[in-house]
Structure 1
Protein backbone atom coordinates (compact mmCIF):
# COMPACT_ATOMS: atom_id res chain seq x y z
CA UNK A 1 0.00 0.00 0.00
CA UNK A 2 1.48 3.29 -1.13
CA UNK A 3 0.70 6.77 0.25
CA UNK A 4 1.89 8.76 -2.77
CA UNK A 5 -0.41 11.69 -3.62
CA UNK A 6 -2.99 10.66 -1.02
CA UNK A 7 -4.80 13.03 1.35
CA UNK A 8 -6.15 12.21 4.80
CA UNK A 9 -8.21 13.82 7.54
CA UNK A 10 -8.49 12.86 11.23
CA UNK A 11 -11.55 10.99 12.45
CA UNK A 12 -10.10 10.43 15.94
CA UNK A 13 -7.14 12.04 17.69
CA UNK A 14 -7.15 12.00 21.48
CA UNK A 15 -4.55 14.35 23.05
CA UNK A 16 -3.44 15.53 19.59
CA UNK A 17 -3.59 18.79 17.66
CA UNK A 18 -4.94 17.64 14.32
CA UNK A 19 -8.68 17.62 13.70
CA UNK A 20 -11.14 17.11 10.87
CA UNK A 21 -10.01 20.57 9.68
CA UNK A 22 -6.39 19.38 9.25
CA UNK A 23 -5.51 18.03 5.78
CA UNK A 24 -2.51 15.69 5.48
CA UNK A 25 -0.90 15.32 2.02
CA UNK A 26 1.49 12.37 1.68
CA UNK A 27 4.10 11.58 -0.94
CA UNK A 28 6.07 8.36 -1.29
CA UNK A 29 9.06 7.17 -3.33
CA UNK A 30 10.02 3.59 -2.59
CA UNK A 31 9.88 3.23 1.18
CA UNK A 32 10.51 6.95 1.82
CA UNK A 33 7.47 8.95 2.96
CA UNK A 34 7.19 12.74 3.13
CA UNK A 35 4.23 14.97 3.73
CA UNK A 36 2.76 18.32 4.61
CA UNK A 37 -0.25 19.24 6.70
CA UNK A 38 -2.18 22.29 7.87
CA UNK A 39 -5.57 23.42 9.04
CA UNK A 40 -7.40 23.66 12.34
CA UNK A 41 -4.91 24.45 15.12
CA UNK A 42 -1.93 23.78 12.82
CA UNK A 43 -0.47 26.59 10.73
CA UNK A 44 2.09 24.38 8.93
CA UNK A 45 3.48 20.90 9.47
CA UNK A 46 5.85 18.47 7.79
CA UNK A 47 6.42 14.71 7.88
CA UNK A 48 9.35 12.42 7.12
CA UNK A 49 9.29 8.68 7.51
CA UNK A 50 9.52 5.23 6.06
CA UNK A 51 7.35 2.27 5.21
CA UNK A 52 8.65 -0.72 7.17
CA UNK A 53 6.31 -3.34 5.65
CA UNK A 54 3.38 -3.34 3.25
CA UNK A 55 1.04 -2.11 6.00
CA UNK A 56 3.33 -0.44 8.56
CA UNK A 57 4.96 3.00 8.65
CA UNK A 58 7.13 5.02 11.04
CA UNK A 59 6.99 8.83 10.93
CA UNK A 60 8.57 11.88 12.50
CA UNK A 61 6.46 15.04 12.37
CA UNK A 62 6.81 18.69 13.28
CA UNK A 63 4.48 21.63 13.19
CA UNK A 64 3.96 25.29 14.02
CA UNK A 65 0.61 25.89 15.68
CA UNK A 66 -1.59 28.94 15.13
CA UNK A 67 -0.63 29.91 18.71
CA UNK A 68 3.06 30.06 17.66
CA UNK A 69 4.10 26.85 19.40
CA UNK A 70 6.65 24.51 17.77
CA UNK A 71 5.83 20.83 18.29
CA UNK A 72 7.67 17.67 17.27
CA UNK A 73 6.64 14.03 17.56
CA UNK A 74 6.98 10.45 16.39
CA UNK A 75 4.49 7.78 15.41
CA UNK A 76 4.12 4.19 14.29
CA UNK A 77 1.19 3.46 12.05
CA UNK A 78 -0.85 0.82 10.33
CA UNK A 79 -2.25 1.26 6.79
CA UNK A 80 -5.52 -0.49 6.01
CA UNK A 81 -7.79 -0.47 2.95
CA UNK A 82 -11.60 -0.49 2.95
CA UNK A 83 -13.83 -2.29 0.44
CA UNK A 84 -13.91 0.77 -1.85
CA UNK A 85 -10.10 0.93 -2.03
CA UNK A 86 -9.72 3.99 0.25
CA UNK A 87 -6.86 3.87 2.72
CA UNK A 88 -7.03 4.49 6.46
CA UNK A 89 -4.19 5.16 8.91
CA UNK A 90 -4.06 4.23 12.61
CA UNK A 91 -1.24 5.64 14.72
CA UNK A 92 0.28 5.33 18.16
CA UNK A 93 2.17 8.58 18.61
CA UNK A 94 4.06 10.66 21.18
CA UNK A 95 5.31 14.21 21.47
CA UNK A 96 9.10 14.62 21.73
CA UNK A 97 8.85 18.10 23.28
CA UNK A 98 6.45 20.00 25.51
CA UNK A 99 4.44 17.75 27.83
CA UNK A 100 5.73 14.52 26.16
CA UNK A 101 2.18 13.13 26.09
CA UNK A 102 1.08 10.38 23.74
CA UNK A 103 -2.07 9.15 22.09
CA UNK A 104 -3.78 7.23 19.34
CA UNK A 105 -5.23 8.66 16.16
CA UNK A 106 -7.11 7.50 13.09
CA UNK A 107 -7.25 9.10 9.65
CA UNK A 108 -9.32 8.36 6.54
CA UNK A 109 -8.44 9.08 2.93
CA UNK A 110 -10.27 11.92 1.21
CA UNK A 111 -10.51 12.94 -2.46
Structure 2
Protein backbone atom coordinates (compact mmCIF):
# COMPACT_ATOMS: atom_id res chain seq x y z
CA UNK A 1 0.00 0.00 0.00
CA UNK A 2 1.33 3.40 -0.97
CA UNK A 3 1.55 6.20 1.56
CA UNK A 4 -0.29 9.43 0.72
CA UNK A 5 3.18 11.02 0.46
CA UNK A 6 4.65 8.46 -1.96
CA UNK A 7 4.16 10.82 -4.93
CA UNK A 8 6.79 13.14 -3.46
CA UNK A 9 9.26 10.29 -3.03
CA UNK A 10 8.64 9.18 -6.62
CA UNK A 11 9.05 12.77 -7.89
CA UNK A 12 12.14 13.76 -5.83
CA UNK A 13 14.20 10.71 -4.85
CA UNK A 14 17.52 10.59 -6.74
CA UNK A 15 16.43 13.43 -9.03
CA UNK A 16 18.28 16.64 -9.88
CA UNK A 17 16.79 20.11 -10.34
CA UNK A 18 17.89 23.42 -11.81
CA UNK A 19 16.61 26.96 -11.34
CA UNK A 20 13.68 28.01 -13.54
CA UNK A 21 13.07 31.34 -11.76
CA UNK A 22 14.79 32.78 -8.69
CA UNK A 23 15.28 36.49 -9.28
CA UNK A 24 15.51 37.35 -5.56
CA UNK A 25 17.63 34.37 -4.48
CA UNK A 26 21.23 33.23 -4.53
CA UNK A 27 20.92 30.04 -6.57
CA UNK A 28 20.87 30.59 -10.30
CA UNK A 29 22.25 29.41 -13.61
CA UNK A 30 24.60 26.54 -12.92
CA UNK A 31 23.19 25.58 -9.51
CA UNK A 32 22.11 21.93 -9.38
CA UNK A 33 20.12 20.38 -6.50
CA UNK A 34 20.19 16.61 -5.91
CA UNK A 35 17.39 15.24 -3.66
CA UNK A 36 17.04 12.09 -1.55
CA UNK A 37 13.81 10.99 0.16
CA UNK A 38 13.44 8.34 2.89
CA UNK A 39 9.88 8.09 4.16
CA UNK A 40 8.91 11.62 5.21
CA UNK A 41 12.55 12.80 5.46
CA UNK A 42 14.10 14.85 2.65
CA UNK A 43 17.73 15.80 2.15
CA UNK A 44 19.64 17.36 -0.68
CA UNK A 45 22.97 18.77 -1.69
CA UNK A 46 23.47 21.63 -4.09
CA UNK A 47 26.30 23.51 -5.75
CA UNK A 48 27.20 25.54 -8.79
CA UNK A 49 26.98 29.15 -9.82
CA UNK A 50 27.52 31.28 -6.70
CA UNK A 51 27.07 28.25 -4.39
CA UNK A 52 30.29 26.46 -3.42
CA UNK A 53 28.48 23.91 -1.26
CA UNK A 54 24.94 23.67 0.14
CA UNK A 55 22.72 21.23 2.02
CA UNK A 56 19.02 20.98 2.74
CA UNK A 57 17.08 18.92 5.24
CA UNK A 58 13.33 18.77 5.49
CA UNK A 59 10.15 16.80 5.57
CA UNK A 60 7.08 15.96 3.57
CA UNK A 61 4.08 17.91 4.94
CA UNK A 62 1.30 16.80 2.57
CA UNK A 63 0.59 14.89 -0.65
CA UNK A 64 2.37 17.58 -2.70
CA UNK A 65 4.01 19.85 -0.09
CA UNK A 66 7.39 19.97 1.64
CA UNK A 67 9.30 22.22 4.02
CA UNK A 68 13.08 22.60 4.15
CA UNK A 69 15.88 24.25 6.06
CA UNK A 70 18.95 25.09 3.98
CA UNK A 71 22.49 26.27 4.47
CA UNK A 72 25.26 27.13 2.06
CA UNK A 73 28.75 28.50 1.65
CA UNK A 74 29.04 30.86 -1.32
CA UNK A 75 31.99 31.26 -3.66
CA UNK A 76 32.61 34.61 -1.89
CA UNK A 77 32.92 32.84 1.49
CA UNK A 78 29.51 33.85 2.88
CA UNK A 79 27.77 31.40 5.21
CA UNK A 80 23.97 31.61 4.84
CA UNK A 81 20.94 29.72 6.17
CA UNK A 82 17.21 29.85 5.51
CA UNK A 83 13.83 28.13 5.34
CA UNK A 84 11.44 27.25 2.52
CA UNK A 85 7.97 25.80 2.01
CA UNK A 86 7.18 24.32 -1.34
CA UNK A 87 4.87 22.49 -3.67
CA UNK A 88 5.88 19.56 -5.86
CA UNK A 89 4.18 19.54 -9.26
CA UNK A 90 4.45 18.30 -12.83
CA UNK A 91 4.79 20.47 -15.94
CA UNK A 92 3.13 19.99 -19.31
CA UNK A 93 5.83 17.58 -20.55
CA UNK A 94 5.91 15.46 -17.40
CA UNK A 95 8.94 16.94 -15.62
CA UNK A 96 8.80 17.46 -11.87
CA UNK A 97 8.62 21.09 -10.74
CA UNK A 98 9.22 22.72 -7.36
CA UNK A 99 7.75 26.08 -6.30
CA UNK A 100 8.96 27.65 -3.04
CA UNK A 101 8.31 30.57 -0.75
CA UNK A 102 11.49 31.15 1.24
CA UNK A 103 13.33 33.42 3.63
CA UNK A 104 16.74 33.88 5.23
CA UNK A 105 17.41 32.93 8.86
CA UNK A 106 21.12 33.87 9.06
CA UNK A 107 23.68 35.70 6.94
CA UNK A 108 21.17 37.68 4.88
CA UNK A 109 17.71 39.26 5.14
CA UNK A 110 14.57 39.10 3.04
CA UNK A 111 13.09 36.27 1.05
CA UNK A 112 11.06 35.55 -2.03
CA UNK A 113 9.66 32.91 -4.32
CA UNK A 114 11.51 30.54 -6.61
CA UNK A 115 10.80 27.78 -9.10
CA UNK A 116 12.87 24.77 -10.12
CA UNK A 117 12.52 22.12 -12.81
CA UNK A 118 13.82 18.59 -13.05
CA UNK A 119 17.12 18.23 -14.88
CA UNK A 120 16.90 15.50 -17.51
CA UNK A 121 20.11 13.64 -18.36
CA UNK A 122 20.83 12.93 -22.01
Establish whether TM, by shorter chain, passes 0.5: yes
User: Which structure: greater strand fraction?
Assistant: 1
Match of 2:94 in 1: 85
Among residues 76, 99, 108, which one is paired with 2:85 in the alignment? 76
Instruction: Judge which range, 93-102 or 30-39, deviates more.
Output: 93-102
Match of 1:104 in 2: 113
Among residues 29, 34, 37, which one is paired with 2:38 in the alignment? 29
Any unmatched runs of 5+ in structure 1? none
Structure index of larger Rg: 2
Q: Normalising by structure 1, what TM-score? A: 0.95
CA distance in 1, matches of 2:68, 2:113: 14
Match of 1:59 in 2: 68
User: Which structure: greater helix fraction?
Assistant: 2
RMSD: 1.0
Q: Normalising by structure 2, what TM-score? A: 0.87
